[in-house]
Amino acid sequence: GPASSSARFALARALWEGAGEARRTVEVGADRAKARALVERALSDMPADADADRRAEMQGWLAAHGGAT
Residue 49: φ, ψ to 5°:
-95, 20
pTM of the model: 0.78
- Average pLDDT of the segment spanning 10-32: 79
The Cα diameter of the chain in Å comes to 41
Query: Which amino acid, residue 18?
Result: G
Length of the chain: 69
pLDDT attached to residue 3: 80
- Average pLDDT of the segment spanning 13-32: 78
Q: Is the confidence at residue 68, as pLDDT, over 80?
A: no
pLDDT attached to residue 31: 87
CA distances from 64 to 37, 54, 61 (A): 14, 15, 5
Rg (CA), the chain: 12
Ramachandran sector of residue 31 (left: φ over 0; alpha: ψ -120 to 50; beta: rest): alpha
